[in-house]
Amino acid sequence: MTDAEVYTPPRIWVWENADGGTWGKHNRPTAGATHERELPVGQHPLQLYSLGTPNGVKVTIMLEELLALGHQGAEYDAWLVGIFEGEQFGTGFVGISPNSKIPAMVDHSIAPPVRVFESGAILNYLGEKFGEFLPTDPHGRAECQSWLFWQMASTPYLGGGFGHFYMYAPVKIEYAINRYTIEIKRQMDLLNQRLAECEYIAGEAYTIADMAIWPWYGLLVEGKLYENGADYFQVQEYPHLRRWSDTIGERPAVKRGSLVNRTFRPELPHLRERHDASDFDGLV
C-alpha cells in the first residue's frame, strides 16, 4: 500500500494470512501453544527464560545487581528463548507465560515453584523477595511504582508503535511514523524534565524504576536502540536524560546484565546463556 492509497476497514475483520514484515509469521489472533517444547531447568534457585531485548535486559540487570550485593538466593540460570523462531509458543514456555512474551521466571526456592511473567512483575517480585531497589517508605514506594508502571504503559509506543513502523513494517507509512515520533519525543521530554529534578527516576535512590526504563530510553538516547535513532530524535535536546543514561550504563551489574542472552550485534560481547558468574570471564 502506498501513502496515496486509502484503506477502508471491513465491517467484519477476517484473518486470512500473515501480514508480512519481520514478525508477520508469528502474528496470529489466537493465544496458546502451537507446539510441544519442554523448558530446561538448571541448578540455581531462579530459572529465567528470556532474550536480550530491552524487556529481557531489565531482569538480568536486576539479578546481577542483587548478586553484586551478595544475595546468595539470587543465583540464576538464563535460558535463551528464540522469539524469531517462535519458541515462545512452545508448551513449556506458555505454561509459565500465558501471553507468550519474554521474560518469564520460575522461582524454585519455594514449593511448589512460583511462576512470574511480565518484566515489571518480575522486578517487583525480586524487589520484594530480597528487599532491595524497592523503597519501603510510602512516598518512595509510590513514586517508584508509578514510574515502573509508566514504563510498562508507555514503552509500547516506543517498541510496538514507533519501532515497528520505523524498522520492521513491510512498508513505510509517514503518518504512522510521525504519530509515534511525536509521542516518543514527548516521553523523552517528560523523562528529561523529571531527571532535571533528581538523580534517578524515582528520586535520589537507584530503583527498579531505573532498571525498567534504562534498557529502552537509555539505549534510545545512546543511539543503540534503532538505526540512526540518536540523530533522528536529536537526543542532544535531552541532557538530563543522557546524564542519567550514562550513569546507569556505567554500573558493572548493568554491563553484565546487558550481555545475557544477546543474539544480535555479534560484533559486541554477548553471553548466549548465563548459568554462573564465570560465564562472564573475558567479556567484561
Report the pLDDT averaged over residues 27-31: 89
In the chain, the number of structural domains is 2
190 plus 245 within the same structural domain: yes
176 plus 208 within the same structural domain: yes
The answer to whether residue 25 sits within a structural domain is no
Amino acid at 145: Q
The reported pLDDT for the residue numbered 189 is: 98
- Within 13 Å, how many C-alpha atoms sit on residue 57's CB side? 26
Summary count for the chain: helices (H), strands (E):
10, 4
The answer to whether residue 34 sits within a structural domain is no
**124-162 pLDDT tens trace:** 999 999 999 999 999 999 999 999 999 999 999 999 999
Q: Are 237 and 220 in contact (CB under 8 A)?
A: no
128 plus 142 within the same structural domain: no
CATH for 104: 3.40.30.10
The answer to whether residue 240 sits within a structural domain is yes
CATH for 212: 1.20.1050.10
The reported pLDDT for the residue numbered 264 is: 78
159 plus 237 within the same structural domain: yes
Owning domain of residue 177: 138-250
The answer to whether residue 184 sits within a structural domain is yes
106 plus 177 within the same structural domain: no
The reported pLDDT for the residue numbered 211 is: 98
The answer to whether residue 206 sits within a structural domain is yes
Residue 161 and residue 157: Cα distance in Å, rounded? Answer: 4
**185-206 pLDDT tens trace:** 999 999 999 999 999 999 999 9
Classify 115 in phi/psi space as left (phi over 0), alpha (psi -120 to 50) or beta.
beta
126 plus 148 within the same structural domain: no
Which residue in the block uniquely carries the three cell numbers 534503532?
226
The answer to whether residue 276 sits within a structural domain is yes
For residue 25, report the phi and psi dihedrals to the nearest 5 degrees.
-70, -15
The answer to whether residue 194 sits within a structural domain is yes
126 plus 147 within the same structural domain: no
Report the pLDDT averaged over residues 254-282: 89
The answer to whether residue 103 sits within a structural domain is yes
Cα 280 from chain centre: 21
**210-250 pLDDT tens trace:** 999 999 999 999 999 998 999 999 999 999 999 999 999 99
- pTM across the whole model: 0.94
146 plus 216 within the same structural domain: yes
117 plus 155 within the same structural domain: no
215 plus 241 within the same structural domain: yes
70 plus 91 within the same structural domain: yes
